[in-house]
Each structure stands twice: as C-alpha cells, then as structure tokens.
Structure 1
Amino acid sequence: MKFLKEKAFLNFLMMSIKHKYKTFFVSICLLIISFSLLKFSHVKFYFFPSPESQIILVNFSFSPGTLKKTYYRIYKYLDKKLKEIDKTKIVKTTYAIVGKPIWGSRISTKEFGDHVGGMIVELVSPEKREKRTNELIKEWKENIDLPVGLTSFTVLERKGGPPGLDIDIRIRSQNADLDKLKQASNFVQSELLKLKGVSDIKDNLPIGKREIEFTLTEKAESLDFNSNYLAKKIKAIFDGVSVTKFFRGEDEIEIIVRNNLDAMNINTFNSHLVLSPNGKLIPMSEIANMRKSQSFSTIKRNNGYREISVTGEINEILVNPDDIMKEIKVNILKKLENNFNLDWYLAGRAEEQKETFGDMKRGGFLAIGVIYIILAFIFQSYFLPFSIMSIIPFTLIGVIGGHWITGFDITILSLVAIFGLSGIVINDSIIMVSNIYEKIKTGIDINSAIITGAQERLRAVMLTSLTTIAGLTPLLFEGSVQAQFLKPMAITIVFGLLFSTLLVLIFIPVILKIGEDIKKFLFNPKFWR
C-alpha cells in the first residue's frame, strides 16, 4: 500500500495534474464514446425485463351465444395437446376457467359469458428444467389446430414488473365511426405482424352476435303499422303469447302459446301471418324488410372519445422491446396518422415507462439542486460544489462500459443503481475535497494541498469502493434464472465504482486545478481591460 501511495499513485497523479487539460479532454472523449455505444445500439435499453415465469396463461373466446359445452371441449383438447409435448414432465397442473378472462394475462378486453374462458398452466421451477417457458409455449401453439368459430386465442407467459401489455396502442376519435376505427385497427395489426418477435396481436373491438334488422315497408305504413307494433308482433313470434290464466287450488297457471323455434327459418318466418291494426292478416314478408348484420359486441369510450386498443406481446429473447416500440412510433403510427387521420397514444408498459422516466427526471433534478445548496452552504463556495458534482456524469463511463463488456441491457434497475452509485461517488468526493480545502485554509499552496490531500484519502476511497465491489461481485457470477433480473443493478455499481474510484482520485484534483486556472484568469485585471 505504501508503494502504491508514495510511488505509483503519486507519479500518476502528478502527471495528470501536469497535463490537466489533456486529462480532462480524455475523460470527455471516453464519455462521448460511452454514449455512442448507446446511440448505435451496442448497448441497448430494456425498461423492465421479467425473470422467467413458471405460469402460462391462456385466454380464448368464441362468438357470443356459443354453448358452454364448446368451452369444455376446447379445454380438454388443449390439455391433451400439452401433455403430448410434455415429454420431460415439467407441467405440474392445469386449471380451467369459464365465463370470464384471466386478468393476469394482461388482456385488454373485458368480455363475460359462456363463450369466454381461460386456462392456467403451472410448470416446475425454471431452475429444475432445461426447457424454457417460451420454448414450451411455441411448441404447444405449433401443435394446436384451432377450431372453427374461435374469435380470439392467446397463450402468454405471466410477466412480473409493471402492469400492462408490451404493446398497447390506443386509437381514438370523437367523430369517426366504429367501422373506421376497426379499419385502422386492422391496418395496425397487419403492420405489427411484419415485425419480428411480435405475437398475440388483437384488438378489444370484437364482433358481436349476428343480427336481423327489420324496417317497415310502404304497404305496412299504409296499413297503420309502426315500429313499436311490429316489434311486439316479432317478439310474440319468438317468445309466444299468453292466452289465458286459471287457478288450480292456490296456484295460478298461465297458458302460453309458442311457435316451434326448431322448425323456424327465413321462409316460415316470412310466411307468418300478422294481424294488422285494422284487423287484416298480412304475411310478414309484405310488412317488413329484413337485413342481416353483425355489429360490435362492445363499444369503448374514454373521456368523450371512442377508443379501440390494439395489443400484442414482444418476445424479449428474439428482439429488444425498446427497439420494437421505436419502430412502432416512427413507422406504423406515422402511417396511421397519414392514412386515417386518427388520434393515438401508447398505454400499457410504454405508458408506465414514460411516467417512471418523468418521475426519475424530476427526482434527479431535485436531488442535484438540494445537494448543491447543502455543499455551497458547507463550503461557503459556489465553485467547490460544481467540482464535486462534476464527477456524476462521468460515472456513466463505467456503467455503460460494464453493460457492454458483460452483454447485458441497461434496465430500470440500472438507472436506480446509478442514483446509489452517485451517492457513493459524491460521498468520496466530499471527503477528498474537504480534506484538500482544510489544507488550503492552513496556508498550504493549492498544488501541495491537492497532492497531499489525494494521497491521504487514497486508502479511505479505495476501501469504500473495494468493499462495495466485493460484496456485489458474487451476484455477477450467480447462474440462477432469477438472478439475471438483478445483475444489471450489480453491474452498474461494480463497474461504475471501478472507474469512479479513479475519477475521484484523479479527476477531482484535475478539476480543482482547472478551476484555479479559471479563477486566476477571471480575476486577472488584464482580463477586464
């Protein structure tokens, strides 16, 4: 330690101070290179990666009106196909849900009824199996032949982290009709299908039951028919009419006459005789025009807007979700604006990401402001707080470089760890600067104060950094699946501290010397002439 302090470190420090502007320039260049790794996607950002789950969630729906027994048939079929591919017995159990969707699958629709159902598949722990969850899902889906009448079918891995779907595009308008919104939705879905790694694409505007619309003919209007009268007659054809009531003991018995609906078809319906208001029997075909239609089963409104949500999932193993969202914003949503003239916004995880970044930005500026005020008050100086805090952006050199070396993406945990790293580095810098500042106040010249102060704080700074690095290093070599989620945080602090230690010991003295040069220059009387 003595050799390091009095020989190696001292020589390197004196050389750095002698060439202080070159040292500062090299630091700036390293920072630019680090940011270029982000700019050109050598190091990517992924907001919130999820550790591998052992739960698979299935949602499916048929056309409204489908019988419940149809649901049980498809559940048994899916369970059978899953068992066929489960050669290594990694499926622990399956559960069936009928009548409502599974909320945990991050769906955007809220349909209920016998035509809606789901399935939960529980697997063994990821550490106890070789086949990954996404591989099982892919193999299962390839082995399934979807039955006729199925309107939606999704198989998803349950994800942790913030709520919402990977892709959730909200298309809305105050004036456009639902058909235009549906066309826009179909356009967006077709564009999403072209993107690698995007699956389970759908919207929340499902087609409803098939309908028959009735309108009065001119003859019906001449016979004094109106819409209410016609509606009552049509209701009577299907629901029947009450013809009499009588009592049997204390019980009231009602006699209802109904048509045989099993034998009912378009021809028999058209030939059905209807009693007109003036007492004549007229065939249904002469008083009503029929038109088949199929409308939407749900209509979403939000803050006065008609709104449709297009959702999808991103396979984070194949692609980076942040790259996909950039592609969606730059290309797909621009085309949507140009072709359909509709408003849009991003919900789901993109919305959570935007809110999180906004909160972190406000919190970061607030923290910097408070730190500056405290340091300025303690040191009674405007410059010294800047010299201490100037090290913060340069810590990103080690952070970005560490992620590049290890091959990990920067995540939200990396950003949170940067706040912690900044605290450690600022603490070391305060100790360094305060020691130098105290020596200057005793009358020692600034060069001697900087060199002596840096030498004296070498042991304390290195011990702080090395103990923290030693505590987090085992996490970097942890091989469990769940540990991969925490590694970006450890990478940020470990590699950030490795480089920041050098910054505190070398960069802070260099900044103090540059500050002294600026001070001499500004307060030189020749400068103001």
Structure 2
Amino acid sequence: MSLSTPPPLSSSSQSGIAGYFSRIRVVSLIAIILSGAGLTSYVTLTKELNPNIQIPIVFVTTLLPGTDPEDMEQLVTIPLEDALENLSGVTKATATSQESVSHITLEFVSGTDPDTAKNDVQTALDSVTTLPKDAEKPNIQVLDFQNQPSLILAVTNRNGEQASLEHFADALKETVKDLSGVERVALSYRNEPVIQVAITPETIDTYRLSVPALGASIGSALDNHPSGSLQSTNTKYTLGIEKLADSASDIRSLPLSLGGTIMPLGSIARITERAPPGGTEAFFADRETSPTPAILLSVFKSDTADTRTTVDTVLRTAQSLADQEGGHITLAALFDGGQEISKSFDQLLHDFLLTFFLVFLVLLTFFGFRQSVVAALAIPITFLGTFLVMQLSGLSINFISLFSLLLALGILVDNAIVIVSAVSSRRRIFINEDPMQTTLQVFADYRVVILTTTITTVWAFLPLLLASGIIGEFIKPIPIVVSTALALSALIALFIILPFMAALLAGNIPRRVNILGKVFLTTTVILSLFIFFKGSLFFVPALVASLIALSIILFSFSTVIPRLIAFPRTTNWLAQLATLRANLNLDRIAARYHIFIKNILASKKLRRRTFAMLILFSLFSYVLVPTGYVVNEFFPEDDQSIVYLRLKLPVGTSPEKSRSQAIDFAEKIRLEALANFVVAEIGAKPPTDNSPSTPDTNEILFTLILPDKKDRNETSGALVDRLNRQYASSNEGEISATQISGGPPAGSDITLKLLGSNLETLDKLAKTIQDHLKEKSSVTNISTSLSVKGKLVFVPDTEALAHFGVTTDGLALTLRTLGNGFIAKNDARFDNQKMDIAIALTDDSQGATLSDPERLFVSGSTGMIPLSALGRFILKENPASIDREDGNRVLSVTADVTPGYSVSTESKNLETYVQKNVVFPDGYSFQTGGVNEENTKSVRSILLAMLLSAALIFATMVMQFNSFRKAIIVLLVIPLAVSGVFVIFALFGIPLSFPALIGVLALFGIVVNNSIIMVDKINKNMECMSDLDEAIASGAASRLEPILLTALTTIIGLIPITLSDPIWQGLGGAIIAGLTFSGVAKLFFIPVIYKSWFQNR
C-alpha cells in the first residue's frame, strides 16, 4: 500500500533539526573531525597484550638467614601478622614461612589505592620492635601486573664455555638496557661468584681463632679508612688509610697475628672464587643440541614504550651481537611479548574484517547498496570516536579492549539499521513524500526509542564495573568500551546517518563528495586486504588482483556501465534484479505474521497454549543447569604454545643431584621431540603456581615451547593430559604437567584449604583427601602444600654451657658458620666487580658435611671447647614451609582436572565428600580455593550485576512507558532469552564459563531493545485505534523488519569471535543462542501477554 500524500508533520519537526539535516557539509565536517580525532588517538594509544590491572595486593618479605620454617614462623611471621592484624581494608591475609624467609600477602578491598595500602603496611610494620637482631628489614612490594618482562631470551653457548657465556650475557645486558623503550634488564641464572675463605675446625682450634674477629679483620682490610685532615700554613691535606686488599690474591696475603706470629691468611685458609652455595642453574636443549647451561635475559619496557617496537629492536640488537661471536652463541625466545600481541591483534583484526563483511552482506541483502554503505558507515565512525574516549579515560589498546570493540560491532549497527529500515519503510508507503520530511518524521518517531534502547543496553554492561578482584580489573575495559561505542552509535545514527540518508534520497550529493567516497572506498579496501592477508603467501597476488578489479569497477561506473544500461536486455535484467531484491524485504512475512498473531489474540485457547509452551520450555531449560547437562567452568581451556613440566625431587636432594636430573630429563624431552626447545630451571615453579613460596633446588621447571598449532597433531591440553598419564608413577620424582588457562591467573583447578593449629593433624586430614582423589580418573597432579625434610637439631646441655662460659649467641654463630657461612663483607669491590666475602667451616676435600659438627670448637671463657662437650645433635623431621591464612595454619590439597571434566563439578563433588566422610576435630575446618574460589567470586559479581542491570532497565522502562505492567512485559523477555542459552549450551556441550555469563548479562540489554521497539509501537497504536487486537497485531507486524534485521546482524556479527577463540565462545554463543530463541519467542509472547493484561482497558 502506498499513499501519495503523507500525514502532516508536527510543528516540532520544523525546528532547528531541519536546518541541521539540510546542511550536509556541516554533518560531513562533524564526521570528519570525529574520525580524525579518533584516528589520532588510535595512533597514540598504548598497545599492549593485557589490560592494566591495578589490584591492591601487598607483599611483605623478611629474611632471617639460617632459620628453619618453624622458628621463622614464631620469630618473624607471627609478630608481623600481629602488627598487621588491625589494618583496615584487608580482606585476606596469607603467610608462608620457609627456611630463612617469611612471606606475607595482604589483599585489600577493591578500589584501595595500592600506594596508600603500601604506606599503611609500612606504618604498621614500623611499630614492630621484637624481631631478632639478625633479621633484615621487611621488604614491602605492591603487586604490579604490568611489571612483567616483554621479552625473555635464553642465551646459550654451544661450546659449553661458561665464562664466555657469562661475558656475552653481561655485554648483552649493558647494550640492551641503553636501547630506547627499555626500562631495565635482568639476568637470571647468572650467579655472581663469591670469595670463600674456607677454614677447618682444627685450624680454628689450633690458632684459637674467633670467626667474628676474623670476619672483622677481612672486612676492615677491604675498606678505606678516612682519618680527617691535616692543615699547614698554606695547604690542607686529607688523611686516610688505603684498603689493604684490592683483589683475591691480596686477601690470601692478608697478614694475621696468630699466637705472636704474623702469618698470611692463605696459609691457614683455602681462598677460592666459586659460585654461591645454593645457586640455581638453567639449561637449554633443542632438537639438535643437548642440554647446555643457559642464562635468561628478561627485558622490561617503559610504560610509554610500544611493546612490539621495543621487542623488535632488542631482538635485532641481540642477534647482531650474537652473530659477532662466530656462531657459538644461541638466542631463543622463551617469551616474546611483541609476537604475542601481533598474534592476538592480527586474529582480532581478521575477525573484525570478517564481521564487518558479514554485517555489510546482511545489509546489502535487505537494503540497496547506497543505503547499506550509509548504515555501515556508522561502524568506523563509532569505532574512531571510541578510540578518542579510550585515550581520554586512560585505557590502552589490548586484546580485551579490541575484543570489546568486536563485541560492540554486532550491536552498534542496530541503531543504524533501525534508522535505515524506518526510512525505507516510510518511503515504500509515502512514495511522493519529500526526503527531508521523511527523515524528520523518522527522527521524531524514533529518537526517544533509540536513546531508550541504547540506555537499556548500556545498563546491561555498566554493572560489570562492580566486579571485584583480579577478574574485575581484567574485564573493566569491556563495560567502558562497549558502553561508549553504544552511546556514540545512537548519536551517530540520529545526527549523521539520518542526514546522510536525507541527502541520499534527495540525490543531491555533490560530485566532489562522490569522488571522496571512491577514494575512501579504495583506501578501505587496500587497508583491509593488508590486515586480512598480512603474513600470508596470498598477500601480494590478492592485493594486485583487488587493485586491478577495483580500477576496472571504478572505470566501469564512469564509462562502460552507463552504455550497458542503455541496452533493452540489460534494462530488463536490471528490472528483474530489482524485483528480486524488493521481494527480499520482509513485508510479505510481516503481513502473514499480522494475520497469524491476530488469530492467536482472538482465541483464548491459543493464547493459553502459547503461554504454556513458553513456560514449559523455560522451565525445561532452567532444569538443565542443576542436573548437570549445562556444565560450569571459570575459563575454558585454550590451545597454548607453552606447556610446563614440574619435577619435584625428594626434599633435601643435593644441588648436584638436581643438576644431573635436570640435564637427563631435558635430554629425554629433546629426544622425544615434544617441543621446538626446552628450558630447564632449577629452583623454579610454573606461572600456574600462585603461592608466594620460593622453590628449593629439589624442584625443577621444564618449559616446553611447542611448534605452531598447524605443525602438531595434538593440542596443548591433550599433551598435558598425556604427559600426566605417562609420568603418573615415575621413579624420577613427582612429575606434573600444566598449562596456563585462559583469563586471569586463578591457581590450581581444585584447591581445598585445611585450617587448624597442628600440622600433624592437618597432614592426616590432607592424606585422607589425597587418597580419595587418587582413586578418581577425573583429576591429576594431586599434591599437598606440606613437604618434610630432615633437620639437624643441636640440643644444648645447659650445665655444660654454664660450666665452660659459652653463650647461646656464640653457639648459634658457630652453627650458622657451619650451615650458611659467615659473611665478612658484602659487595666488596675488586676493580669493576662486586663480590661477597664469606667465611665457611669446611672439610679439606668435601666442604661442610654431617661429620663436621663433631669436630667443631666454640669459644668459651676457658678457651676453645669441643661442640660435642656442650650437647648433642639429633635428626628430626621438619616442614619445608608453613602456610598461614588469617592467623591460622593452613595446609592445601591441590589438583588439576583432566580434560573433558568440569572444574566446578569436581570441586563440588570433593566438597561433598569432605563434608560427609572427613571428621574434623574441634578448631579445624576447610575452605575451597583456586579456580573454584575465583569462579564463585566471579559468579557472585555477575549475579549482582544482573540484579542491578534488571533494576536499572525496569526503572528506565517505567519512566519510558509510565506503566509498571508494560515495563514488566519488556523485562519478562530476559528469562526467555536465558532459557534459549541453556538449551543451546546443553545441546552443543558449551560450558557456562565466566565469559558466557558476561554474554548472558549482555542479553539483558540486547533483547530488551527489540521489545521496547515493539511495545512502543503498540502503545502508539492504542492511542489511535479502538480495536485492541488490531493495535497489537499491527504494532508487532510493523516492527518485524527492524527486530529481525537487528537480531540477524548481531548474530552474524558474533559468529567470527564465537568460532575463532574458545575463551570467548561462551560469550558469543550466549548472545547468539539468546537472540535466536528470544527473537522468535517475543513475537508471540509480547502480543499475547499484552492482550491478557490490557484487554479490559
């Protein structure tokens, strides 16, 4: 149906809006300025892999050399805990006491300024005065997720020459740290040597040596001693005594007065330069090279530097230096932040272009080419405007913010579609209407609806800002970026797209604008091809072919095509094509839907059946969650490029044995060709271990760098599972394989924390739970946080101490010299090198052994007393570390879930088993932790966000419709959409992950949009129609086209990210599933419930 005369416009339409719409150059200028500012912002925005996460977590580390974990807990950890106990804002306090070191971790309320938290901790610790005098000052650090290396290089010498390797590593460090963009450089496993003064107990007894006095003599010889100044009549001189030793050989010649005889130190002690005791090592091996010593070089970029540029510069410089060494030096990137960013960005840009193409194809199918171009123009302008807001708000371009833009792409075009659809529909009805009048009337009819629907969609995302902890900081760019893009899309649709549509319909676009459009199209195609095919073998052919095709097309538009159109056959074919495209509009479907829904409204029986079907379907879908058909997990597993193997040898294993095992196992991995290369690190732990404890030399970490995904036959998850099964009962030690999961760090899949006071009782409880887990095939890498090692304890005879005049301090000093050595001088300078000077009690050949204590002598008031006369040694078991949480001792049982099983289900099953089968004594309890704890927190945050979102949407609807019932009608579409999510997830086995919950939350705003459009039109019909059924059916049918088109473009726009990345599969899948079901259900639900609630109006 068409009308030759349109209804009169209201006087409000003849306002300044008409003048603005008619000035197309002003509109174009605004679009250009916004795009230019956004483009400038994009160029200047920091590009990084992860978002800038600011979490108020403070670490306190305190050293007390030579102290076992139990003493460390009593002497250091507990006093510090007591001082920090009343600190405000602390949500969680954990502590670990190890040999010689205490770690305390304080997590503050989200939103607390990290620097303020650090200052508060420092103030509290300043009041502690009871720490042992040998304890070092507590070191306070704030967690900084950005303080991570952008590049880690493994540096090796194929000849195995350690001195040459160290020399090259030192030179490389000095060169790299001066490069632009580099903040600092660190070397790992470059053990600085110490000068050891080794003395036997017999020598000490013979010469009646005092170790502290000897240390003071050595320290004094290495220092200059200023002695003031001397002034004569005309001259002033400074006085001083120069240091006696300036090299290791000078120390050997240092004169000592022993029993009235002057003797050089080298005659009574063995002075050597050696690696520090307990030093760690790393080894590198690839498919051609057996394990060789390696030094790891970590490069940290400055805050303002671009990661990719900085990393590329460092790699070129490092390779240039390596090439100068004649091929002996090998460099291998253990982590390349620039490459990781490029891979993530390239994939997202690839998905973006594919999404843009699919959305444009949908527009082209239902609209004309020019209308589709105008509607699609909203996407780049909105994105560029969003970049401007990102720069103003201090956000960076990272994979989360880029993903947010990709998520917004399928949604933001909805406003433009509504505008273009409304203009096209009105033109089909009022064919003779002036284009300016058409656009002004569309503006009058849709401005409130578009702004309202945009606000409701923003309400679905903004509550994500309430998410706390690491996960809250991790996803913070999503609500900011998406909300900004949606708000801009509404303004752009009303004030840029609509005026462009007016100019397009009027046909008065200047020739210069046409030329500019062609230039813009050409540039866009070239840039798109560059991004889409970059790095591909087809890049050059595709670029050349596209440029040729584009030239032909542009030439044809100006010469060939006008001539072709003049032929009658061509005219007929174009007419058929126009008829075919016209038939693709939804008018026929809308007409049939109008009749169908009107019949349902007229029948009470059909209305009840419709209600019953929707309610039964919803109830069925919601039952799928508690019955286990829809599984729940934190973040889905992704195919990674790195796998970690952790080898735990028995506690107390010697460094030599650990070194041998590291080399042997690395060689085994090399021969099995599991990875491109492997790096073995002694005394290291995988990044999946979030505990603050420092591994001992009995723990070895193997980092396997896998081939590209296309070059291997199994995923990283499958490899982890195979390795865990392969080494489940290994004789080499406790071996576990892990990989980093998607999303922020969260710890082991399953963590059960046992709290109590006695470690033996906690250990018994842990072993019961551990035995239960070992019977299950669904879990692997089962371990506890408690490990035991032998402790040699001296039990003094108090009467003997008093008789010989031996103090406990002197006794402790002798034992510490035996165990860790006595540091005579820290950072002694020899030319340009700094080394520590250590005095050690040692055997002539083997160093300190268990036979040495029997030969020790202690200085007493009566002379040198044999240690054996002052007490006895006993060997007892001692925990390697003691963990505490909120003032209680805690022992953790951890495990990883085997691929194919649900983390949440296994955690729940374990929790049920413990509650029913494990008896806890009074004062003992358990808590869950790890991934399950983070999942629980995240679900709680999302549920809170959903409630707030629903409340905000409801309040907005009440203000819009001035009716509670109409607002409830719009809101009831949300549970229908969620029910579709559960059904699709159950059918396809998609886990209900945290990203999926974000998708469900996004549905709140998306599905409400179309409901608002429908209810708004029904309300307007009710004002001018007496027949309620006709008002409802006509209103629903007239909004069928924008509802289906916006849903279709959103669904198609989300397909690329849903299929390309397992992490975001749940988010995209939730929106697609919810829109698919609700898009159909609302077409019946809203008319039926509207009729039921307002039939007696």
1:509 aligns with 2:1087: yes
Structure 1 residues 13 and 83 mapped into 2: Cα distance closer, same or farther (>3 Å)?
farther
Structure 1 residues 218 and 191 mapped into 2: Cα distance closer, same or farther (>3 Å)?
farther
User: Match for residue 676 of structure 2?
Assistant: 92
1:442 aligns with 2:1020: no
1:485 to 1026, 1044, 1063: 1063
Which shifted more, 420-429 or 463-472?
463-472
User: Match for residue 389 of structure 2?
Assistant: none
Opposite residue 621 of structure 2, the aligned amino acid is: S
Shift in Å, 1:383: 1.4
What's the TM-score, normalizing by structure 2? 0.41
2:878 partner SS: strand
1:349 aligns with 2:349: no
- CA contact 1:238–1:259 (8 Å) conserved in 2: no
Shift in Å, 1:445: 3.3
Residues 160-179 of structure 1: pairs in structure 2 closer than 5 A: 160-165=742-747, 166-173=749-756, 176-179=757-760
User: Match for residue 719 of structure 2?
Assistant: 136
- CA contact 1:213–1:293 (8 Å) conserved in 2: no
User: Match for residue 296 of structure 1?
Assistant: 879
1:219-239 Cα distance to aligned partner (Å, 9 max, x none): 888888886676678779999
Extract unaligned runs of 5+ from structure 2. 1-585, 823-838
Which shifted more, 14-23 or 332-341?
332-341
1:255-305 Cα distance to aligned partner (Å, 9 max, x none): 9997769699989977999999789x9997776354320211222223212
Shift in Å, 1:33: 0.7
Distance 1:372 1:465 in 2: 22
Distance 1:369 1:7 in 2: 36
Distance 1:256 1:446 in 2: 98
Opposite residue 32 of structure 1, the aligned amino acid is: L
- CA contact 1:13–1:506 (8 Å) conserved in 2: no
Shift in Å, 1:509: 0.9
User: Match for residue 774 of structure 2?
Assistant: 193
2:616 to 24, 29, 51: 29
Report the identity percentage.
21
Shift in Å, 1:513: 1.5
Structure 1 residues 234 and 373 mapped into 2: Cα distance closer, same or farther (>3 Å)?
closer
User: Match for residue 494 of structure 1?
Assistant: 1072
What's the TM-score, normalizing by structure 1? 0.81
- CA contact 1:440–1:449 (8 Å) conserved in 2: yes
User: Match for residue 7 of structure 1?
Assistant: 592
Shift in Å, 1:378: 1.8
- CA contact 2:792–2:873 (8 Å) conserved in 1: no
TM-align CA RMSD: 3.6
1:59 to 619, 633, 646: 646
1:203 to 773, 784, 795: 784
Distance 2:1041 2:847 in 1: 95
Distance 2:1069 2:815 in 1: 72
1:115 aligns with 2:702: no
Opposite residue 355 of structure 1, the aligned amino acid is: K
User: Match for residue 710 of structure 2?
Assistant: 127
User: Match for residue 364 of structure 1?
Assistant: 946
Shift in Å, 1:124: 1.4
Shift in Å, 1:147: 5.4
Structure 1 residues 140 and 5 mapped into 2: Cα distance closer, same or farther (>3 Å)?
closer
Distance 2:963 2:852 in 1: 97
User: Match for residue 246 of structure 1?
Assistant: none
Which shifted more, 403-412 or 422-431?
403-412
Distance 2:1057 2:819 in 1: 70
1:307 aligns with 2:899: no
Distance 2:821 2:739 in 1: 49
Shift in Å, 1:475: 5.9
- CA contact 1:134–1:157 (8 Å) conserved in 2: yes
- CA contact 1:162–1:349 (8 Å) conserved in 2: no
Structure 1 residues 336 and 395 mapped into 2: Cα distance closer, same or farther (>3 Å)?
same
Structure 1 residues 215 and 457 mapped into 2: Cα distance closer, same or farther (>3 Å)?
same
1:91 partner SS: coil
User: Match for residue 48 of structure 1?
Assistant: 635
Distance 1:45 1:267 in 2: 58
Residues 361-440 of structure 1: pairs in structure 2 closer than 5 A: 361-440=943-1022
- CA contact 1:204–1:308 (8 Å) conserved in 2: yes
Give the aligned length: 492
- CA contact 2:806–2:858 (8 Å) conserved in 1: no
Structure 1 residues 197 and 125 mapped into 2: Cα distance closer, same or farther (>3 Å)?
farther
Distance 1:161 1:238 in 2: 44
Shift in Å, 1:142: 5.6
Shift in Å, 1:129: 1.8
1:24-45 Cα distance to aligned partner (Å, 9 max, x none): 1221111111112222222222
Opposite residue 595 of structure 2, the aligned amino acid is: L
Opposite residue 891 of structure 2, the aligned amino acid is: I
User: Match for residue 527 of structure 1?
Assistant: none
Distance 1:239 1:94 in 2: 32
Distance 2:859 2:632 in 1: 73
Greater RCO, CA 8 A, separation 6+:
1
1:48 partner SS: coil
- CA contact 2:640–2:739 (8 Å) conserved in 1: yes
1:322 aligns with 2:904: yes
User: Match for residue 73 of structure 1?
Assistant: 660
- CA contact 1:197–1:314 (8 Å) conserved in 2: yes
Distance 1:484 1:46 in 2: 13
Distance 2:855 2:775 in 1: 51
1:169-197 Cα distance to aligned partner (Å, 9 max, x none): 22223xx2222222222222222222322
2:1083 partner SS: helix
Which shifted more, 323-332 or 193-202?
193-202
User: Match for residue 1038 of structure 2?
Assistant: 456
User: Match for residue 440 of structure 2?
Assistant: none
Distance 2:786 2:707 in 1: 36
Distance 1:269 1:385 in 2: 84
User: Match for residue 471 of structure 1?
Assistant: 1053
Distance 1:487 1:325 in 2: 23
1:409 partner SS: coil
Structure 1 residues 257 and 338 mapped into 2: Cα distance closer, same or farther (>3 Å)?
closer
Shift in Å, 1:47: 2.5
- CA contact 1:421–1:496 (8 Å) conserved in 2: yes
- CA contact 1:108–1:309 (8 Å) conserved in 2: no
- CA contact 1:108–1:311 (8 Å) conserved in 2: no
Shift in Å, 1:127: 3.4
Structure 1 residues 172 and 442 mapped into 2: Cα distance closer, same or farther (>3 Å)?
same
Opposite residue 680 of structure 2, the aligned amino acid is: A
- CA contact 1:214–1:291 (8 Å) conserved in 2: yes
- CA contact 2:670–2:678 (8 Å) conserved in 1: no
Shift in Å, 1:358: 2.0
1:199 partner SS: strand
1:160 partner SS: coil
